[in-house]
Amino acid sequence: MKVGIIGAGAVGATAAYAMVMRGVAREIVLSDLNQQRAQAEADDVLHAVPFAHPVRVSTGDYSDLAGSRVVIITAGVAQEPGETRLELLSRNAAIFNQIVPQVLENARDAIILVATNPVDVMTHLTADIADKYGVHRSRVIGSGTTLDTARFRALLGGHLGVDPPHVHGYVLGEHGDSEVFPWSLVTVGGVPLDEFCRQWDICTDDEVRADIERRVRSAAFNIIEGKGNTSFGIGSALTRIVEVILKDQRALLTVCTPVRDVAGVKDVTLSLPHLVGGKGILDTILLPLSLNKTEETALRASAEVVREAYENVKAL
């Protein structure tokens, strides 16, 4: 099965490499305005194929996306020193207004997976463009807090001394500073977190929880400060989402997609546990019904942050 990637920078190239390592796709097409960079990355990934899985890796333009089951969009610009978030949004919105129509015209049946930041707003913008082409919003997905959730489980698992896949908890809301950590829903091996900690005499008081939240929120900043970009975590997250789609695994992932109502905020895109499968978003777990009052208030505030950002961009 074919996957297209728009943007051959660190994230796009790493996603391609991760897909080859996991054998997720049968064909990968990398596309970038910098054709030399795209060709170099495609060649480098192709040379890993003999050590992994038989995947065709090539470069191409929009017409070469035809037949893709999924098209990942990682293209966009990074925030410049002194640039406001709204200015960054407006520049990336202009880029998406050029990219998304061409993707839809050449790969009409594809599911679009957005990774460009700020991912919640960019995904909502993509869904609005898709509407004009008669493409249902369920086929527009953003990476959302998939990576934040993985970071959360990894850090909490490390603190508890438990393998992260057995730690079940989510990061919800905006992929950004207002993201929400619903501790009341966390379980370990099916046991509520507080009960698990009592059994094993492990401290997860407010100080411990605040430290884990801080480390999740600051992870990208610290990584970028140290190496210039984040790539392995998000590349792996994108690969997992693509795998779920191509194999129709019907997995619960904290991706972002337009939702009619979140804690009273209408028509907003942010991360909740969504059921994802071969047709894209299949359903949404409306967690506000299960959250405590503090968590529900925080989720509403996060939804308002995203909605306001989108309204500001739309008004430009």
Return the active site residues: 175
Residue 212, phi then psi, degrees to nearest 5: -65, -45
Please tell me what DSSP assigns to residue 264.
Answer: T
The residue type at 295: E
3 state SS of 49: helix
Contact 259/270 with Cβ under 8 angstroms?
Answer: yes
Peptide bond between residue 165 and the one before it cis (omega within 30 degrees of 0): no
- Closest residue by Cα to residue 223 from 151, 143, 156, 131: 151
What's 140-160 look like in SS3? EEECCCHHHHHHHHHHHHHHH
Please tell me what DSSP assigns to residue 65.
Answer: G
- Tokens at residue 42, please? 């495609």
